[in-house]
């Protein structure tokens, strides 16, 4: 069996690895570290939780142990899709490079530009960054990438999902073509394949697991869910989640609950806290300091449940997560692989449970097609009575407004006189006295004026036109013959 001591790493790096408690490399580490130390490009394909981070951090530290970076010109660059993953990579460098004098800079959002510029100006052997913040510093003229000797792209498929591929291509063009490139991904989409063919030179391909497979250490199951009524779906689904957690008992030491929408992340976290479950939310809209504080609490065990969006699906290296609950079926099948990869890490057992509603069955089919296996339906499905037994405070409905039907009024009929249409008033009711109104201007020759046709009935009434009152011009009141004579 291969050991770290057989991989030709720097002795100081080996000492740091031993301090971390590791003796035997994982398959991706054993396959990627030797060619990386030789200066070759590496294409690593492995599922999450297999140790990809150490696959590039250990050889980078060994290669960079000699030399010194100049101001604003980092010697190496690591690109990560999320702030959490970038912060985790930085922690790995701190752990494995503690016996080597290397400087490090972390460029992520949510941190002051001035603080980051001060670190860059002092010189950084290792620059760890998200693509957006890196380009921000470059466009401000605070960073030069012409001195990059080693470039790493971590979680490349997540970069694709988040729309970072144009940024990645631009960053590649800003670095020297003589650089060494280490490229890691859990899946290989056609777009990722195109980039590797364009920017990697005869890479050593290490594929330690079938593409888009899930770990055999994870027990997976799906619970089919159907709400009793549409307006109760949210409360009944949260009740089902709590029931599943209770059903796992003491085996559920801690868990990550994944939701598709940020709004649901906050709602589920508040609901769990309301019912006595120690939970906190993490998603992209929170301040960076709050996100880091929540993650720190989950890592040290002071927080039991972490309710997260897919921003936390990548890069969370928490070695002892017992359960992952998919509150929602992920809309992208690849996200399922990364979500449940948060449990069953480092050879430990894990449990992944997913709640699937009727409208999510198509996404479930896509997931099963991707992982090439049928996810077992839970034999312990919650009964309809349990699902509908939601908490009163969550199911209390507002009284619905009822609208009284309007009394249908008969439409005016051309054959009905206007007087006959007044059916709402009683027969013996005395009509109100009419207001006095001024007499309309009468034409001089009233004998020749033709009777007016009533608008309501279309019958001749024998009355003069009074619609325009005193303002009616005289020529309108004249008869046709009288106008012709004039």
End-to-end CA distance of the chain: 123
Comparison of pLDDT for 297 and 474, the residue scoring more: 297
3 state DSSP class of 244: helix
Comparison of pLDDT for 378 and 266, the residue scoring more: 266
Residue 432 lies in a domain: no
Q: Note whether 184 and 225 are same-domain residues.
A: no
Q: Which two tokens stand for residue 344?
A: 């069953």
Q: Phi and psi for 449 in degrees, rounded to 5?
A: -70, 135
pLDDT at 174 > cutoff 50: yes
Q: What is the pTM of this model?
A: 0.65
Q: Note whether 174 and 225 are same-domain residues.
A: no
Evaluate the CA torsion angle 112, 113, 115, 120 in order and state its sign: positive
Of 180, 207, 234, the last residue of a domain is 207
Q: Which two tokens stand for residue 121?
A: 């100006």
239-249 tens-digit pLDDT: 999 999 999 99
Average pLDDT over residues 476-485: 59
Residue 103 lies in a domain: yes
Q: Note whether 196 and 249 are same-domain residues.
A: no
Residue 200 lies in a domain: yes
CATH number, residue 161: 3.40.50.300
Integer Cα distance of 27 and 125 in angstroms: 28
Q: What is the pLDDT of residue 389?
A: 46
Integer Cα distance of 203 and 462 in angstroms: 103
Q: Phi and psi for 377 in degrees, rounded to 5?
A: -80, 135
Q: What is the pLDDT of residue 269?
A: 96
Instruction: Please state whether 72 falls in left (phi above 0), alpha (psi between -120 and 50) or beta.
Output: left
On average, the pLDDT of the chain sits at 81
CB 291 within 8 A of CB 56: no
Q: What is the pLDDT of residue 158?
A: 82
pLDDT at 72 > cutoff 80: yes
Q: Note whether 195 and 224 are same-domain residues.
A: no
Placement of tokens 């009024």 in the chain: 409
Q: Note whether 196 and 232 are same-domain residues.
A: no
Q: Note whether 295 and 242 are same-domain residues.
A: yes
Of 184, 207, 230, the last residue of a domain is 207
Q: What is the pLDDT of residue 485?
A: 59
Percent of all residues in the chain with a pLDDT value above 70, rounded to a whole number = 74
CB 184 within 8 A of CB 209: no
Average pLDDT over residues 237-261: 95
With cut-offs at 50, 70 and 90, classify the pLDDT of residue 388: very low
3 state DSSP class of 62: helix
Query: In which domain, by residue range, is 138 found?
Result: 4-207
pLDDT at 446 > cutoff 50: no
pLDDT at 441 > cutoff 60: no
* Rg, the chain, Cα only: 38
With cut-offs at 50, 70 and 90, classify the pLDDT of residue 402: low
Q: Note whether 186 and 224 are same-domain residues.
A: no
With cut-offs at 50, 70 and 90, classify the pLDDT of residue 473: low
Q: Note whether 235 and 355 are same-domain residues.
A: yes
Q: What is the pLDDT of residue 407?
A: 54
Residue 166 lies in a domain: yes
> For the purposes of burial, counting CB atoms within 10 Å of the CB of 460, is it exposed (0-12), middle (13-18) or buried (19 or more)?
exposed
Q: Note whether 192 and 242 are same-domain residues.
A: no
Residue 438 lies in a domain: no
Average pLDDT over residues 355-374: 92
Of 188, 207, 226, the last residue of a domain is 207
Residue 426 lies in a domain: no
Q: Note whether 288 and 358 are same-domain residues.
A: yes
Q: Note whether 112 and 247 are same-domain residues.
A: no
Q: What is the pLDDT of residue 283?
A: 85
Count of domains in the chain? 3
pLDDT at 438 > cutoff 50: no
With cut-offs at 50, 70 and 90, classify the pLDDT of residue 61: very high
Q: Note whether 293 and 348 are same-domain residues.
A: yes
143-168 tens-digit pLDDT: 999 999 999 999 888 888 788 999 99
Q: What is the pLDDT of residue 69?
A: 84
Helix (H) or strand (E) run with residue 394 in it: helix 392-395
pLDDT at 428 > cutoff 50: no
Which of 8-12, 187-191, 309-313, 319-323 has the least mean pLDDT? Answer: 309-313
Residue 408 lies in a domain: no
Helix (H) or strand (E) run with residue 233 in it: helix 233-248
Residue 409 lies in a domain: no
Integer Cα distance of 139 and 131 in angstroms: 12
103-126 tens-digit pLDDT: 999 999 888 899 999 999 999 999
């Amino acid at each position: 069996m291969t050991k770290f001591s057989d991989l030709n790493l720097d002795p100081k790096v080996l000492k740091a690895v031993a301090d971390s408690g590791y003796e035997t490399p994982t398959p991706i580490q054993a396959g990627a570290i030797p060619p990386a130390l030789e200066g070759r490009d590496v294409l690593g394909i492995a599922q999450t939780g297999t140790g990809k981070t150490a696959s590039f951090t250990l050889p980078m530290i060994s290669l960079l142990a000699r030399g010194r970076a100049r101001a604003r010109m980092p010697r190496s660059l690591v690109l990560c899709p999320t702030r959490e993953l970038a912060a985790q990579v930085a922690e790995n460098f701190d752990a494995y490079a503690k016996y080597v004098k290397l400087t490090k800079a972390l460029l992520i959002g949510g941190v002051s530009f001035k603080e980051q510029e001060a670190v860059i100006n002092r010189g950084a052997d290792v620059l760890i960054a998200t693509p957006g913040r890196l380009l921000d510093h470059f466009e401000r003229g605070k960073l030069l990438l012409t001195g990059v000797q080693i470039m790493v792209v971590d979680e490349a498929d997540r970069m694709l999902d988040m729309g970072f591929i144009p940024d990645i291509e631009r960053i590649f063009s800003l670095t020297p073509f003589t650089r060494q490139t280490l490229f890691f991904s859990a899946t290989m989409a056609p777009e990722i394949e195109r980039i590797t063919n364009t920017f990697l030179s005869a890479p050593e391909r290490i594929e330690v697991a079938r593409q888009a497979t899930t770990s055999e250490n994870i027990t997976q199951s799906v619970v089919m869910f159907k709400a009793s009524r549409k307006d109760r779906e949210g409360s009944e689904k949260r009740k089902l989640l709590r029931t599943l957690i209770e059903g796992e008992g003491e085996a559920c030491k801690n868990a990550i609950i994944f939701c598709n929408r940020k709004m649901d992340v906050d709602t589920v976290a508040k609901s769990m806290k309301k019912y006595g479950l120690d939970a906190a939310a993490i998603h992209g809209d929170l301040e960076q300091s709050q996100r880091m504080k929540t993650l720190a609490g989950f890592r040290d065990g002071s927080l039991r449940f972490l309710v997260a969006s897919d921003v936390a699906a990548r890069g969370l290296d928490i070695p002892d997560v017992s359960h992952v609950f998919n509150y929602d079926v992920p809309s992208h099948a690849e996200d399922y692989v990364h979500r449940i990869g948060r449990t069953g890490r480092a050879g430990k057992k894990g449990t992944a449970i997913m709640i699937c509603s009727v409208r999510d069955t198509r996404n479930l089919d896509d997931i099963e097609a991707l992982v090439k296996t049928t996810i077992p339906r839970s034999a312990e499905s919650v009964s309809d009575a349990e699902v509908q037994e939601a908490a009163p405070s969550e199911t209390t409905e507002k009284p619905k407004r009822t609208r009284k039907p309007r009394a249908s009024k008969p439409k005016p009929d051309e054959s009905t006189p206007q007087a006959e249409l007044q059916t709402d008033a009683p027969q013996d009711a005395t009509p109100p006295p009419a207001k006095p109104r001024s007499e309309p201007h009468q034409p001089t020759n009233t004998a020749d004026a033709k009777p007016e046709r009533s608008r309501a009935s279309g019958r001749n009434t024998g009355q003069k036109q009074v619609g325009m009152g005193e303002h009616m011009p005289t020529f309108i009141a004249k008869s046709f013959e009288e106008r012709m004579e004039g």
